[in-house]
């Protein structure tokens, strides 16, 4: 089986990663060309639907990578990472709502939902959101600071295992209920939608959609390389030691809490960036993105692709979400049954996931 799987083994060396980066860069050139340069009546033309679908899945792949960094390499299973994804999306959505200006239904500088609720001005936490650089800071700082504070208390109390997973679920559920309220200034049930522009460019133009796709691909590749740099460094070896024998790492003199807190915060920031790239492409952000079920699905992506492999995380995201896109159109009533069956099959027959299985066969 060695020669058959040798390309998988070569993927994990330095030259293999460079080839992967070159291939990804090629894709980012080919897809825009198929969308913009190829005529619409050509069989090689890539429609807006597929550009949007691929862009969404790449955002999901970034979240899967962020979870793999803490679950696959540090042994921390979070079932609430959808919260950080949604917070990054809301930070971007606030900026996009300010970009609408007075083009809403009520012709006011305030978003329509604020006018409907008879608000007279923006809440204090909307300050500066008309500037993209402020939105970019919030995309990084809001998920990062929340993760840091939550992680500091959780890791200081030495909460781990299933108890840690449960409180991450509780946290995301609490925020979901908070954002569903109309008086919080985040649009309630409907959230933010009907975006017009980003950085002055119309979101309805094909060129803008392709640029967002390319930006998402760039950040996905950057996320992959950042995660690889972490796990192949001394820091990565300490994280693996914490995963495999936390008490031994602690008795060896390592400050386990600080290592876990760093990687936990980094993972949340990566999720926030993914959420910010997701929102202008799909055109909406609402509290349902914080649903605990969404966070559980993220863990399924990582499990299917293979946790602790890095490449497996985006592979799992593409497999599951590609299947979801097909099933929800062809057999919408059977999607959840398929997802449950897929998770059972992976757990029983592929405990290391698709890429973990291929990597083991190659070695």
Q: What is the pLDDT of residues 166-209, one digit of tens each?
A: 999 999 999 999 999 988 999 999 999 989 999 989 998 988 99
Structural domains counted in the chain: 1
Tokens in use for 181?
């309220």
Binned at pLDDT 50, 70 and 90, residue 359 comes out as low
User: What pTM was estimated for this model as a whole?
Assistant: 0.90
Tokens in use for 134?
């402020």
List, for residues 298-349, the tens digit of each pLDDT value: 999 999 999 998 889 999 999 999 999 988 888 888 888 888 888 888 888 8
What count of other Cβ atoms lies within 10 Å of the Cβ of residue 251? 10
Q: What would the DSSP string read from start to end of 106-137?
A: T--SS-HHHHHTT--S--GGGTTTTSHHHHHH
List, for residues 126-168, the tens digit of each pLDDT value: 999 999 999 999 999 999 999 999 999 999 999 989 999 999 9
Q: Does residue 230 have a pLDDT over 70?
A: yes
Q: Decide if 91 contacts 142 (C-beta within 8 A).
A: yes
Q: Decide if 318 contacts 280 (C-beta within 8 A).
A: no
User: Rounded mean pLDDT of the chain?
Assistant: 87
pLDDT value at residue 9: 52
Q: Decide if 216 contacts 59 (C-beta within 8 A).
A: yes
308: nearest Cα among 350, 273, 353, 272: 353
Binned at pLDDT 50, 70 and 90, residue 1 comes out as very low
pLDDT value at residue 255: 93
Share of the chain residues as helix, strand and coil, in percent rounded to the nearest 5: 75, 0, 25
| Higher pLDDT pick, 283 / 360 | 283
pLDDT value at residue 2: 46
Q: Does residue 234 have a pLDDT over 80?
A: yes
Buried b (16+ CB within 10 A) or exposed e, 31-47: bbebbeeeeeeeeeebe
Binned at pLDDT 50, 70 and 90, residue 30 comes out as low
pLDDT value at residue 262: 97
| Higher pLDDT pick, 217 / 70 | 70
Domain that holds residue 190: 2-362
The Cα diameter of the chain in Å comes to 69
Backbone torsion region of residue 76, taken as left when φ is above 0, otherwise alpha when ψ lies between -120 and 50, otherwise beta: beta
Element holding 306 (H helix, E strand): none
Pairing of strands 197-198, 201-202: antiparallel
In angstroms, the CA 178 to CA 125 distance is: 15
Phi, psi of 295 (to 5 degrees): -70, -35
State the burial class of residue 57 (Cβ atoms within 10 Å of its Cβ: 0-12, 13-18, 19+): buried
In angstroms, the CA 93 to CA 186 distance is: 9
Residue 192 vs residues 91, 215, 331, 357: alpha-carbon distances, Å: 11, 22, 29, 41
**Mean pLDDT within 43-70:** 88
């Amino acid at each position: 089986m060695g020669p058959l799987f040798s390309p998988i083994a070569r993927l994990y060396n330095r030259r293999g990663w460079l080839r992967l980066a070159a291939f990804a860069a090629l894709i980012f050139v080919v897809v825009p060309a198929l969308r913009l340069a190829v005529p619409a009546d050509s069989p090689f033309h890539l429609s807006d639907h597929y550009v949007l679908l691929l862009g969404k899945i790449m955002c999901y792949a970034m979240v899967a990578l962020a979870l793999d960094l803490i679950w696959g390499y540090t042994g921390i299973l979070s079932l609430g990472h959808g919260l950080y994804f949604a917070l990054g999306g809301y930070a971007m959505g606030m900026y996009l709502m300010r970009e609408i200006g007075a083009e809403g239904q009520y012709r006011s500088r305030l978003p329509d939902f604020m006018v409907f609720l008879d608000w007279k001005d923006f809440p204090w936490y909307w300050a500066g959101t008309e500037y993209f650089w402020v939105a970019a800071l919030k995309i990084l700082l809001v998920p990062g600071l929340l993760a840091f504070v939550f992680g500091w208390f959780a890791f200081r109390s030495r909460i781990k295992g299933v108890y840690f997973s449960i409180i991450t679920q509780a946290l995301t559920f609490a925020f979901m209920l908070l954002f569903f309220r109309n008086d919080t200034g985040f649009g309630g049930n409907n959230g933010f939608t009907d975006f017009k522009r980003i950085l002055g460019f119309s979101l309805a133009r094909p060129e803008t959609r392709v640029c967002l796709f390319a930006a998402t691909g760039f950040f996905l590749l950057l996320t992959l390389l950042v995660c690889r740099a972490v796990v192949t460094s001394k820091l990565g070896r300490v994280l693996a030691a914490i995963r495999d024998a936390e008490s031994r790492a602690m008795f060896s003199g390592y400050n386990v809490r600080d290592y876990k807190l760093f990687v936990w915060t980094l993972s949340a920031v990566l999720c926030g960036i993914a959420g910010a790239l997701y929102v202008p492409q799909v055109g909406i952000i609402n509290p349902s993105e914080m649903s605990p079920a969404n966070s559980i699905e993220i863990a399924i992506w990582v499990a299917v692709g293979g946790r602790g492999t890095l490449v497996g995380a985006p592979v799992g995201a593409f497999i599951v979400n590609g299947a979801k896109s097909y099933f929800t159109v062809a057999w919408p009533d059977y999607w959840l049954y398929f997802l449950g069956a897929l998770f059972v099959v992976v757990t029983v027959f592929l405990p290391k996931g698709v890429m973990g299985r291929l990597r083991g066969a190659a070695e």
